[in-house]
Amino acid sequence: MDCAYFAAGRCGSCTELPTPYDVQLDAKERRCREALADHPDISGVSWLSTAASATEGFRNKAKMVVAGTPQAPTLGILDPSGTGVDLRLCPLYSPAMHGLLEVLSEFVVRARLTPYDVSLRRGELKHLIVTESPDGEFLVRFVLRSTEGVPRIRKHLPALLAEHPSVAVVSVNRQPEHKAILEGPEEEILTDRLTLPMRVNDRVLHLRPRSFFQTNTDLAATLYRQASSWADEVGASSVLDLYCGVGGFALHLAAPGRRVRGVELSEEAVASAVATATESGLAVDFVCGDATAVDADAELVVVNPPRRGLGPDLCARLESSSARWVVYSSCNVTSLARDLAQLPSWVPRRARVIDMFAHTSHFEVITLLERR
């Protein structure tokens, strides 16, 4: 991938960009194997071929820091001095995303939204977060310090939606604190449509503004297909999906004669998952709850935890459960290795690296565990 920003030293986020992509893939699988090398049963693992990403245009979400002035905003990142670096043509995004980011820059000017100045701690617009669906629709979020700019966003929004019908959902999020966090807890949807449909394989997931979804749609599809294949392989008649989010794993594992339940702490994510299940006619039971406090009463348990991993409490629950199989999807091989050490009753049988984050050192790894 050629990137003028990287070449000019304006953005170094893609730390592995100078490395040929096939070498990146080999290095990630090697790092994954080395991180798990101390597990006593790792020699018996069947490693599937690493799932490669497209090398550009693969990111479905742009998280843009807004800086500059109301007349000339920048959308991108901040340099070490706090000055905005405009990245609206970043090659990680699609041409359609590039076009919309240009439109949104013009909208910021038209609505007179003052970019937040980190050094002075004043201004209103902190971030623009834009998600693109495989069908070319967008969810746009304005992250504001206060509600001061909301009336002007409302005033100019009808023209934006009329001129750009691909914009399906628009919301404002309020993040009043001077902290390096992307968003706050308050969200208001300004459009009639509440969710962005994300077509993944033969499922259409519904994303609300605060819903988590993998940033690489094609590799998310690969991830879900892999889990579904393993569930079919072991003949699981019941599945429990912990940290289920908008239901990606649970909805893909739904099948005739198989009982599937998903547990997620976010009420918004559960609402999205229920909407997809209802629309698709899939018999999946989604509940709002703490994944670490649920009894693992299914033949197969799917876990897709945050970077910190499962932790000792959930590992202990899996140890004492009646489950026979675990599918563990991890975005942090270090926490995966730590969790596997706390799961002595489980033997890793399959593993696959999923290169969700090309040109960086990060990757996803999915493993199939069998009870001894």
Please count the other Cβ atoms lying within 10 Å of the Cβ belonging to residue 168.
21
Residues 275-331: pLDDT tens digits? 999 999 999 999 999 988 888 889 999 999 999 999 999 999 999 999 999 999 999
Q: Among the options 14, 90, 315, 331, which is catalytic? A: 331
Structure tokens at 206: 């519904």
Closest CA to 238 of 353, 345, 322: 322
User: Hey, what amino acid is at 361?
Assistant: S
pTM (global) more than 0.85? yes
* In contact, 46 and 349? CB cutoff 8 Å: yes
Cα(171)–Cα(142) distance, integer angstroms: 6
Catalytic-residue membership of 331: yes
Domains along the sequence of the chain with CATH = 4-55+213-371 (3.40.50.150), 61-193 (2.40.50.1070)
Dist CA 40 CA 31 (whole Å): 17
Q: What is the mean pLDDT of residues 179-207?
A: 95
Contact 43, 32 (CB under 8 A): no
CA quadruple 200, 219, 180, 245: dihedral sign: positive
Find the mean pLDDT for residues 27-37: 97
Coil, helix or strand at residue 129: strand
Half-sphere exposure of 290 toward its Cβ, with a 13 Å CA cutoff? 5
Count Cα neighbours of 139 within 13 Å in the Cβ-side half-sphere.
27
Instruction: Calculate what percentage of the chain has a pLDDT beyond 90.
Output: 95
H-helix or E-strand spanning residue 262: strand 259-264
Residues 7-24 have a mean pLDDT of 97
Phi/psi of residue 26, each to 5°? -60, -40
Q: What is the predicted pLDDT for the residue at 67?
A: 97
Q: Which amino acid is at 79?
A: D
> 104 falls in which pLDDT band (50, 70, 90)?
very high
Phi, psi of 256 (to 5 degrees): -55, 135
pLDDT, mean of residues 56-81:
97
Is the pLDDT at 196 greater than 90? The verdict is yes
Which H or E run contains 196? Answer: strand 196-200
Do residues 50 and 58 make contact, with C-beta atoms less than 8 angstroms apart? Answer: no
Q: For residue 46, list its beta bridge partners.
A: 350
Longest dimension (CA), the chain: 64
| Residue 292 pLDDT | 83
Res. 30: pLDDT tops 90 = yes
Give φ, ψ of 27 to 5 degrees: -65, -40
> For 120-161, what is each residue's pLDDT tens digit?
999 999 999 999 999 999 999 999 999 999 999 999 999 999
List the beta bridge partners of residue 62: 130
Q: What pLDDT score was predicted for residue 71?
A: 96
Mean pLDDT of the chain: 96
